[in-house]
Structure 1
């Protein structure tokens, strides 16, 4: 499979996640010669933001709605190392949403060369008021993008 229809790969934990491609470069490596754990977290944040933007919830929408989401908790399970030259498929989806204050987003990273899952992760995101930074109830627009019936 090439990178044209990544979301249909049978190895995904869910059907048709949002997927971005990352090529591991020397700048991503730690002193052990494999991808640094902090780099993975930055890729998860980037794919989460890309998914949000693809759903119409970019920063301008956050400002217009007066609400946005911030990370409260990350859980990362490193399953196999990756190295410079590896192409990775980084996927995300909204797994759980209480439609009040928080939602859980899941992630899965596959190495393209062998389609091995190298990382699984989850982030709890909390809805906040853009002016005060305090938790607030999700606006209806956030609930409209849930991947399941409301």
Structure 2
């Protein structure tokens, strides 16, 4: 696969009938939900699931999505969505990149970048990342 960066975390997706909009292709909002799903699964793989977030009273919350929609996905398409953690300040911010590919023809449907900020769940306010976040997310950092 022609991934933009080395060693991606990848999830498999399939465009379902419920994902199709009035124009006959996957709705743009569906792509955003896939980005969230991919980021969560990667976090879970790194040992930082919702239970751990609650225990630590911390979470990584989206503050910005930048999405380039490059090609349409259609009902039945089998897709792969990759993510990489490409930047973080080890205090508050972390950035992920994403690439959505249709393996059948190698077409990249989407490239995206999401910025997250660490928040305290109990207050909703920005708070410094706990050591567990540094230990979990740090080894996943890729050159971006």
| Counterpart for residue 97 of structure 1 | 88
| Counterpart for residue 5 of structure 1 | none
RMSD value over aligned CA atoms?
1.2
Alignment of 1:1-150 (within 5 A): 9=1, 11-144=2-135, 145-146=137-138, 147-148=140-141
| SS of corresponding position for 1:51 | helix
Q: TM-score, with normalisation over the residues of structure 1?
A: 0.90
Contiguous gaps of at least 5 residues in structure 1: 1-8
* Residue 148 of structure 1, CA deviation: 4.3
Cα contact 1:71–1:126 (8 A) shared by 2: yes
Distance 1:130 1:27 in 2: 32
* Residue 142 of structure 1, CA deviation: 1.2
> What number of residue pairs does the alignment pair up?
140
| Counterpart for residue 6 of structure 1 | none
Q: TM-score, with normalisation over the residues of structure 2?
A: 0.93
4+ runs deviating over 6 angstroms: none
* Residue 112 of structure 1, CA deviation: 1.6
Cα contact 1:92–1:107 (8 A) shared by 2: yes
Contiguous gaps of at least 5 residues in structure 2: none
| SS of corresponding position for 1:125 | strand
| SS of corresponding position for 1:35 | coil
* Residue 52 of structure 1, CA deviation: 0.3
Distance 2:127 2:76 in 1: 43
Cα contact 1:72–1:126 (8 A) shared by 2: yes
| SS of corresponding position for 1:43 | helix
